[in-house]
Amino acid sequence: MSNKNQLGKDRLIWIYIQMTRIREFEERVKRTFLEHPGAMRGHTHLADGAEASIVGALASRNSEDWAMPSYRCHAHPLVLGTSPKKMMAELYGRTDGLCKGFGGSMHLSDPEHFFPGTSGIVGQSIAHAAGAALTAQVKKTGQIVYCFFGDGASKQGAFFETLNLAAVWKLPIVFILENNEYQAYTHVSLEDANAQAGEPLSRKAAAFSIPGVTVDGTDPLLVYAAVAEAAERARGGGGPSLIESKFYRLSAHGNAITVPPAPTQFPEHEAIGVYGNKAEFRAAKERDPIPRFRAYLLSQRILTERELQRIDDSARTEMDDAVQFALASPQPAPEEATNYVYA
Ligand SMILES: Cc1ncc(C[n+]2csc(CCOP(=O)(O)OP(=O)(O)O)c2C)c(N)n1
Ligand SMILES: [Mg+2]
């Protein structure tokens, strides 16, 4: 790891804090399916393994820039400042949730924190990002959009149509392709699945004459360097860029309600269940971004072991409190079921 952008001590610590908060939030979600079976309904998609990529990318964000993740969306709003209590309550479908319990994990939204919302439709965040960026461009607000989507989404029509339009109109977007090696249960490699043409995926940028780079998404400083450059370009009217950030999904594709939990969902995450192999998972775990960044901060004498421990403990307490808040919040009344239904 090298801090070639000379991020200050405070910023490096901020990155570590956000990474641990994400990991702890996601661990609580995962555990819910064991500790409170049936309490959380619907499907959740976790970001463990993606922390360095997400926080590294958002470290270049100005306070009013938008972030548009896919349905794998718990981590990004946490970094933006959304309340973990309200997020957790939303995942539990409770009235104190971010969307009063009507959205669930895949439909979080917090416009006050520049997080407009998400969609369960693969690739939709890409098109939505163009809408937000066009608004910023027309209204001259100076905002840019951080648009996150998966390797699978980069094969959707929405990807190609939006990148074309964004390039033509020079929209202020940074496209961050989160290549976590899997599209649900399908591995990215050609041999395995015959599902993917074109490596590296960042080469797709060339089709639209925009910059495209691939970075190691397990290193927040490398992700920061690439995204900060793209963000500066977007702010200066230079249009969009495509950053492919490569890391490994350390959880199963999703955790859904099954009582008792399916053996492939737990524990220590048979991340890829019956579809992948344990050796692959263990190798990825060796490169787990959180212990690596932690070790970096120690080696650079940015934080002591005690200070790091304090951050870890604080993230745990914060997310335990979020679970308690969610469990204490009431369920919406049955007669409210058709509220907010317009068609
Ligand atoms: C349009 C559409 N097609 C298929 C699905 C089913 N589906 C849900 S997640 C997923 C895989 C997406 O993979 P990727 O874009 O790599 O995102 P990841 O889940 O790895 O973050 C698929 C096919 C869907 N939700 N929407
Ligand atoms: Mg993927």
The Å distance, Cα 219 to ligand 1 centre, comes to: 25
- Name the residue with tokens 């230079």: 238
Are the C-beta atoms of residues 168 and 130 closer than 8 Å to each other? no
The Å distance, Cα 199 to ligand 1 centre, comes to: 19
Cα 263 from Cα 265, distance rounded (Å): 5
Cα 125 from Cα 150, distance rounded (Å): 10
Q: Which atom of ligand 1 is nearest to the CA of 179?
A: 16
Q: Is the CB of 53 under 6 A from ligand 1?
A: no
Confidence grade of residue 280 (pLDDT, cut at 50, 70, 90): confident
Strands (E), the chain: 43-44, 66-68, 145-150, 173-179, 182-183, 186-187, 212-216, 241-246, 255-256
Look at residue 262 and tell me whether its pLDDT is greater than 60: no
Given 3.40.50.1100, 3.40.50.970, 3.60.110.10, 3.30.830.10, which CATH number is that of 9-336? Answer: 3.40.50.970
Q: Which atom of ligand 1 is nearest to the CA of 188?
A: 16
Per-residue confidence (pLDDT) for residue 272, from 0 to 100 = 37
Burial 114-149 (b: 16+ CB within 10 A, else e): bbbbbbeebbbbbbbbbebbbebbeeeeebbbbbbb
Q: Is the CB of 196 under 6 A from ligand 1?
A: no
Cα 325 from Cα 91, distance rounded (Å): 12
Q: Is the CB of 44 under 6 A from ligand 1?
A: no
Look at residue 273 and tell me whether its pLDDT is greater than 80: no
Task: Look at residues 66, 172, 59, 69 and name the one whose alpha carbon lies nearest to residue 111.
Answer: 66
The Å distance, Cα 43 to ligand 1 centre, comes to: 13
The Å distance, Cα 179 to ligand 2 centre, comes to: 5
Per-residue confidence (pLDDT) for residue 188, from 0 to 100 = 77
Cα 308 from Cα 160, distance rounded (Å): 43
Q: Is the CB of 181 under 6 A from ligand 1?
A: no
pLDDT by residue (tens digit) across 78-89?
999 999 999 999
**Closest residue by CA, ligand 1 atom 13:** 183
Query: CA-based diameter of the chain, in Å?
Result: 58
For the segment 19-42, the average pLDDT, to the nearest whole number, is: 87
Task: Look at residues 260, 274, 325 and name the one whose alpha carbon lies nearest to residue 97.
Answer: 325
Q: Is the CB of 69 under 6 A from ligand 1?
A: no
For the segment 293-300, the average pLDDT, to the nearest whole number, is: 98
Q: What share of the chain is helix, strand, coil (3-state, %, to 5)?
A: 50, 10, 40
For residue 281 the two structure tokens come to 């998972």
Q: Which atom of ligand 1 is nearest to the CA of 151?
A: 16
- The CA-atom distances, in angstroms, between 235 and each of 60, 87, 172 are 12, 30, 6
The Å distance, Cα 154 to ligand 1 centre, comes to: 10
For the full predicted model, state whether its pTM sits above 0.85: yes
Q: Where does residue 194 fall: left (phi above 0), alpha (psi -120 to 50 degrees), or beta otherwise?
A: left
Look at residue 33 and tell me whether its pLDDT is greater than 80: no
- Name the residue with tokens 């989404």: 153
For the segment 276-296, the average pLDDT, to the nearest whole number, is: 87
The preferred substitution site among 179, 183, 189, 253 for testing ligand 1, maximizing ligand atoms within 8 Å of CB, is 183
Confidence grade of residue 185 (pLDDT, cut at 50, 70, 90): confident
Are the C-beta atoms of residues 127 and 162 closer than 8 Å to each other? yes
The Å distance, Cα 185 to ligand 1 centre, comes to: 10
| Cβ-Cβ contacts under 8 Å for 140 (sequence gap 6 or more) | none
Per-residue confidence (pLDDT) for residue 274, from 0 to 100 = 42
Cα 19 from Cα 6, distance rounded (Å): 19
Look at residue 136 and tell me whether its pLDDT is greater than 50: yes
Q: Is the CB of 72 under 6 A from ligand 1?
A: yes
For residue 267 the two structure tokens come to 């524990």
Q: Is the CB of 49 under 6 A from ligand 1?
A: no
The Å distance, Cα 177 to ligand 2 centre, comes to: 9
**Facing residues of 255 across strands?**
44
Query: Rg of the chain's alpha carbons, rounded to an integer?
Result: 19
